[in-house]
Amino acid sequence: MKHIARTIALLCCLILGASCADNAESPMEREIRAMVKKMTLEEKAGQLVQLSINTITDNRRHALDTSAMREVFGTYRVGSILNVPFDAASDRATTAALMAEVQQWSLRLTGIPTLYGMDMIHGASYISDATFFPQEVNLAATFNPEHAAMMGQVTAYETRAALVPWTFSPVMDLTREAAWPRNWESYGEDPYLQSVMAVAEMRAMQGEDRDHVDDRHIAACIKHYMAYGAPRSGKDRTPAYVSMADLREKYFAPFKACIEAGALSLMVNSASVNGVPVHASKTLLTGWLKEELNWDGMIVTDWADVNNLYEREHVAADRKDAVCIGINAGIDMIMEPYDAKTAVLIKELAEEGRIPMSRLDDAVIRVLRLKYRLGLFDTPVWNVDGYDRFGCEEFRQASYRAAVESEVLLKNEHALLPLASGTRILLTGPNANSMRSLNGGWSYTWQGSGRPEYSAPYHTIYQALQAEFGTDRVTFVPGVVYDEGGQRWQQEVQVDIAPVVAAAASADVIVACIGENSYCETPGNINDLTLSANQRELVRQLAATGKPVVLVLNEGRARIISDIEPLADAIVDIMLPGNYGADALAALLSGRENFSGRLPFTYPRYVNSIHTYDFKVSEMSATMGGEYNYDAVMDVQWPFGTGLSYTTFAYSDLQVDKEVFSAEDTLRFSVQVTNTGTKAGAEAVLLFSSDEVASVIPDVKRLRAFRKVTLQPGASEEVVLTVPARSLAFVGEDGAWHLEEGDFSIGVGSLRRRIRCNRTSTW
């Protein structure tokens, strides 16, 4: 059965004779188009529908429902299935067996392999025995794309080992709204950092040949296109209002970079941008993606979002109208998780001429093309016995190393850290003994809750500190405890600070682990970015004891702590570092490892003063001057790129190969970096540009290049950073790109260099 479709296609080519021979397309394209010509309208419509596996499972028996599969595949010819079976991860063997059965039913009833996808967000995170990495926000903090590439490689290998060839990752939403609950899923607020890290992960997932993805790689689905991370309300799946210049220049940039690097599929933003639902935007889906970039990949909706065009957005009269609008805008596959009858609506719309056959066929071709590229027509069910590296020590060490480089030292007064051997530690806070808070969402379950047995083999912060410093040196008194029911993650159900204060008397240092419990998507919405009153009161009372306090921030977004920050002697932001994050933290606190992470976002100080690092120069009137000076300074807790180390680095001799340049040039900068301290350390060298005068108000600065280097004490290295001159351009009010004649300031560390563009270019 697995060769049925290929045989049909080859027979069709023989029948068509000369027309196939004259076609200059690749053999794969000819086979796909030949197959489409033979398909019925029902078969075509079914290929555009994706259902949740819950529609074909019997949860009472914990098995597939054969009658449901006959309907889904036999009647409606559905082309794709997604999601984790039974709402929680299973081990690799169980997952693979279930996937094989689903695939066999699809082949038996449709003659075409199904395309199965799962949300493998930070490793194969829906396989219980797979290797989990830190979340993307942590990998961004490493400023080291090697970690993103390694996560992509391991995710692909371990996902394929469970017979799943497609994942909805990487996430590439610029996190420009600090309260948005999905900040932690993405690579931070900067478009260049996002682009570099996402491309590294995506390429490693897909391998070298996008037309022939082998059985050690999978298809990536870059998401959520676009401006999803900029909702005006700060709430999930709510409208964004973004200038067309920023949309083109910043939000589009990571998606463009990934598509140009070979991304095979893309998922759409659930919400709207400037009043237009992205699922209904032909401009953004067909114009910007498929036409401008000449992209032949596949666009899939997010969960039930075509329905939202009429249920929530009110741009469609009914469900059928919504399907029509979405497919005509450029949607190729509808993630309608519950109802296979969407295929009937697609068929009716085609028969009525409301969806042109050319658009329908184009969508079907894109779906089949992805299946061909994944090798599903040749090998829909592959042998998973040979994946000997699954969960291996090499993968575990890679996750640990990523966690070490991702945790950020923000404050270290009086060199409190590293803690000396023998230090008596009082450990407290709701995050101190929790694996759930270390992993975050998309970890075994959607909200990262409910299956503690899966993460039991790994260390909480309490267990890791005991292993690092000795069980007799670490005393744990929680003080504040989260509700672990999973639905009220924000609430703290137990607050008892007095025992913690009493225990401080016998401690040398207090380590307070504060922040957030795990959450994902809409359940993570909040009304106040300030850290909870209970946790802040815990820190205040502990600081009053006079003992030095180390704050460990374990959170998916930057919760405001401006009132308690002065009370802490040291602060470490570990974000969501994964199963090995506590081991990494313990090694960093002891000095066995050295800090090298940097914030990939701006950490706000005040609720009503939230911005990103690349704000406009006119927003800084108190320092930039001007007739009306209202002290509009940008006052943040910690700027983008902040990160301390146990050693120090000095920068010198910033050079550039072209002081005068034009748009066609590539600029080569070099700088000498020296470890001036007494410990080995890694330094992320960041290069920023500032356009000194432009025809639109310029950003204060923009990240243009970075590279991480590791140096022994006293060692130096010349770091070379290349910047295409065209990347210094901006999008003007006319929607065009402009690189204008004039001066630019280049900054690396405290060093500055001025260069000049010798002529204006527009494209």
Active site residue 119: no
630 or 316, higher pLDDT: 316
Same domain for 304 and 426: no
Whether 21 shows a pLDDT value over 50: the answer reads: no
Mean pLDDT across 110-114: 97
DSSP conformational letter for 261: T
Q: C-alpha distances in angstroms, 70 versus 78, 105, 110, 335, 463?
A: 11, 8, 10, 20, 49
- 27-38 helix and 357-373 helix, angle to the nearest 10 degrees: 130
Q: What is the C-alpha separation between 139 and 196, in angstroms, rounded?
A: 11
Could you read off the pLDDT of 194-237 as tens digits, one per residue? 999 999 999 999 999 999 999 999 999 999 999 999 999 999 99
pLDDT given at position 633: 67
Contact present, 738 and 706 (Cβ < 8 Å): no
Contact present, 706 and 721 (Cβ < 8 Å): yes
Same domain for 407 and 369: no
Mean of pLDDT over the chain: 94
Tell me whether residue 611 is in a domain: no
* Total tally of structural domains belonging to the chain: 3
Q: Measured over all CA atoms, what is the biggest interatomic distance in the chain, rounded to whole angstroms?
A: 89
Q: What is the C-alpha separation between 143 and 543, in angstroms, rounded?
A: 33
pLDDT given at position 13: 37
Residue the block writes with tokens 């137990």: 494
Tell me whether residue 616 is in a domain: no
How many CB atoms within 10 Å of residue 483? 15
Mean pLDDT across 147-160: 98
Output the CA torsion 118→124→129→134 (10° steps).
Answer: -140
Contact present, 752 and 735 (Cβ < 8 Å): no
Same domain for 305 and 234: yes
Same domain for 752 and 669: yes
Phi/psi for 739 (5° steps) reads -115, 105
Quick one: CA dihedral 148, 405, 188, 747, positive or negative? Answer: negative
pLDDT given at position 493: 81
pLDDT given at position 489: 60
**Of 374, 476, 449, 288, nearest in space to 80 by CA:** 374
Contact present, 216 and 207 (Cβ < 8 Å): yes
Q: What is the C-alpha separation between 572 and 553, in angstroms, rounded?
A: 6
Whether 717 shows a pLDDT value over 50: the answer reads: yes
Q: What is the C-alpha separation between 52 and 54, in angstroms, rounded?
A: 5
Mean pLDDT across 573-596: 98
Same domain for 568 and 656: no
In this structure, what CATH number is given to the domain that contains residue 659?
2.60.40.10
Give the active site residue among 119, 173, 215, 302.
Answer: 302
Tell me whether residue 702 is in a domain: yes
pLDDT given at position 6: 43
Q: Give the SS3 label for residue 627.
A: coil
Mean pLDDT across 465-480: 98
pLDDT given at position 153: 98
Supply 695's token pair. 């025809």
Whether 305 shows a pLDDT value over 80: the answer reads: yes
Mean pLDDT across 421-439: 97
Q: What is the C-alpha separation between 212 and 209, in angstroms, rounded?
A: 5
Whether 14 shows a pLDDT value over 70: the answer reads: no
Q: What is the C-alpha separation between 478 and 430, in angstroms, rounded?
A: 6
pLDDT given at position 630: 52
In this structure, what CATH number is given to the domain that contains residue 502?
3.40.50.1700
Supply 717's token pair. 């290295």
Tell me whether residue 620 is in a domain: no
Q: What is the C-alpha separation between 103 and 678, in angstroms, rounded?
A: 58
Say what the pTM is. Answer: 0.94
Q: State percent of the chain over pLDDT 70.
A: 94
Contact present, 597 and 611 (Cβ < 8 Å): no
pLDDT given at position 625: 54
Whether 435 shows a pLDDT value over 50: the answer reads: yes
Q: What is the C-alpha separation between 513 and 497, in angstroms, rounded?
A: 14
Mean pLDDT across 729-748: 97
Tell me whether residue 613 is in a domain: no
Q: What is the C-alpha separation between 759 and 681, in angstroms, rounded?
A: 42
Residue the block writes with tokens 């085609």: 350
Q: What is the C-alpha separation between 686 and 632, in angstroms, rounded?
A: 27
**Of 474, 494, 478, nearest in space to 431 by CA:** 478
Domain that holds residue 216: 4-373
Could you read off the pLDDT of 539-555 as tens digits, one per residue? 999 999 999 999 999 99
Same domain for 158 and 248: yes
Same domain for 206 and 107: yes
Query: Confidence band (pLDDT; 50, 70, 90) for 59?
Result: confident
DSSP conformational letter for 283: I
Tell me whether residue 390 is in a domain: no
CA angle 611, 616, 621 (to 5 degrees): 95
Same domain for 283 and 227: yes
Whether 486 shows a pLDDT value over 80: the answer reads: no
Same domain for 500 and 355: no
Q: C-alpha distances in angstroms, 206 versus 150, 153, 215?
A: 12, 8, 10
CA angle 255, 259, 264 (to 5 degrees): 115
Query: Confidence band (pLDDT; 50, 70, 90) for 619?
Result: confident
pLDDT given at position 736: 96
Q: What is the C-alpha separation between 125 and 470, in angstroms, rounded?
A: 31
Residue 52, strand partner residues: 82
Could you read off the pLDDT of 648-693 as tens digits, one per residue? 999 999 999 999 999 999 999 999 999 999 999 999 999 999 999 9
Could you read off the pLDDT of 493-540 as tens digits, one per residue? 889 999 999 999 999 999 999 999 999 999 999 999 999 999 999 999
Same domain for 444 and 301: no
Same domain for 156 and 248: yes
**Of 402, 406, 407, 683, nearest in space to 571 by CA:** 407
pLDDT given at position 22: 38
Q: What is the C-alpha separation between 525 and 519, in angstroms, rounded?
A: 9
Of the candidates 569, 585, 600, which is a domain's last residue? Answer: 600
pLDDT given at position 484: 80
Lowest mean pLDDT among 65-74, 609-618, 714-723, 750-759: 609-618
Q: State percent of the chain over pLDDT 90.
A: 91
In this structure, what CATH number is given to the domain that contains residue 120?
3.20.20.300
Query: Confidence band (pLDDT; 50, 70, 90) for 12?
Result: very low
Same domain for 227 and 82: yes
**Three-class HEC string of 442-453:** CECECCCCCCHH
pLDDT given at position 88: 94
Tell me whether residue 607 is in a domain: no
Tell me whether residue 619 is in a domain: no
Mean pLDDT across 267-280: 97
